[in-house]
Structure formats: C-alpha cells, structure tokens
C-alpha cells in the first residue's frame, strides 16, 4: 500500500513544484534548471560510481564483506535514475543520495533492520581438519602439462583468395 502511495505522491509533488517554481521564475528558466541538473547529475553519478567501484574492488581483493560498497553502488545507481527523471523533488532526492553521509545513514538504517542468516568468504573448511586455510595457502598440486594446439580447420570452401 505504501508503494502505491509513493507512486501517487511523487508525480503530484513534481507537478506542484513545477507550477510553483515555473510561476516564480518562468518557463524558460525552469526548463533550463531541469536540463542542467540532469547534466550535472550524470557527471556526479559517474564520479561517485567510479569511487564505489574502486571500493568494491578493494573489498573483493582484501576478502572483506562487500555489502557496504554494493549498497552504496545501488544507491548511486538509483540516484542517477532520479536525476535523469525531470523534476525538482526527484532531483533533490537524487542529489541527496550522492552525498556519502546520507548514503551511510541510509545504509546504517537498513542494516539495523535486515537480518543476515549466514555469510562466508574465503576458502571452505577442509574435509578432515574442519578449519579454513588462509587465502592462497591451500594444498599445492604438482603436475606436468603439454599444450595441445588443435589443427586449423577451414570454416569455408576455397575461394581462390586464400590458401589452406
């Protein structure tokens, strides 16, 4: 029910803001502000998205919990969609989501209300020992190999232009 109310309230808020702001500053300035916020928002989303991707890569390389960088990336993606949507209210929410303190507050709010049953990263427990091996310190298997290159097969008939 709250989702229906949200889908009903947001367009009504946007229409009211367009009427109020358009009446105060005029149609041309209103349209210019909407276009400029979309351009500025796209640039900011790209910059914040690059930072979020770097944080995600760092958490993966250090085998840390990637939940926070993933949540930040999702909020940045959502803010990009809001900033590309014409309107003053959606722009305000989109720009707010681009601010790291706002994202952290939302992340903490959601994390307190979501219960994770289990989370595991790294190597799986060994069959006999029951404990985990440190990353990169698993069993070493020694072996020899020989590279086999398959013969090149023509994919078409002889056209006279190529030799097979």
Give, for 31, the enclosing helix (H) or strand (E).
Answer: helix 27-61
Domain of 100 in residue numbering reads as: 13-113
- Residue 5 inside a domain? The answer is no
- Residue 122 inside a domain? The answer is no
- Residue 133 inside a domain? The answer is no
- Residue 123 inside a domain? The answer is no
Q: In this structure, what token pair is assigned to residue 126?
A: 């060994």
- Residue 145 inside a domain? The answer is no
Q: How many domains does the chain have?
A: 1
- The yes-or-no verdict on residue 158 having pLDDT over 70 is no
Quick: pLDDT tens for 60-97: 888 888 888 999 999 999 999 998 888 899 999 999 99
90 exposure class (CB count in 10 Å sphere: 0-12, 13-18, 19+): buried
Angstrom distance (rounded) from CA 138 to CA 124: 10
Q: Average of pLDDT values for 16-34? A: 91
Return mean pLDDT, the chain.
Answer: 83
Give the model's confidence band at 131: pLDDT under 50 very low, under 70 low, under 90 confident, else very high: low
- Looking from the CA of 25 toward its CB, the CA atoms found within 13 Å total 10
- Residue 106 inside a domain? The answer is yes
What is the reported pTM? 0.65
CA separation (Å) from 3 to 6, 8, 15, 96, 133? 5, 9, 19, 21, 46
Q: Which residue has the tokens 């500025």?
A: 40
- Looking from the CA of 108 toward its CB, the CA atoms found within 13 Å total 5
Angstrom distance (rounded) from CA 70 to CA 74: 6
Angstrom distance (rounded) from CA 124 to CA 142: 21
Q: Average of pLDDT values for 4-29? A: 91
- The yes-or-no verdict on residue 8 having pLDDT over 70 is yes
Q: Do 43 and 76 touch, CB atoms closer than 8 A?
A: no
- Residue 22 inside a domain? The answer is yes
- Residue 132 inside a domain? The answer is no
């Amino acid at each position: 029910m709250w989702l229906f109310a949200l889908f009903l309230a947001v367009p009504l808020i946007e229409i009211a803001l367009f009427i109020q702001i358009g009446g105060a500053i005029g149609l041309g300035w209103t349209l210019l502000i909407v276009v400029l916020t979309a351009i500025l928002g796209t640039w900011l989303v790209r910059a914040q998205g690059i930072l979020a991707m770097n944080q995600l890569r760092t958490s993966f390389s250090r085998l840390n919990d990637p939940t926070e960088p993933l949540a930040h990336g999702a909020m940045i993606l959502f803010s990009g969609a809001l900033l590309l949507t014409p309107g003053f209210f959606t722009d305000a929410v989109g720009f707010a989501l681009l601010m790291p303190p706002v994202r952290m507050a939302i992340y903490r709010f959601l994390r307190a209300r979501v219960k994770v049953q289990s989370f595991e990263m790294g190597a799986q427990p060994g069959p006999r020992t029951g404990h985990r091996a440190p990353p990169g310190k698993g069993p070493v298997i020694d072996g020899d190999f020989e590279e086999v290159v398959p013969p090149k097969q023509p994919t078409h008939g002889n056209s006279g232009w190529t030799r097979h």
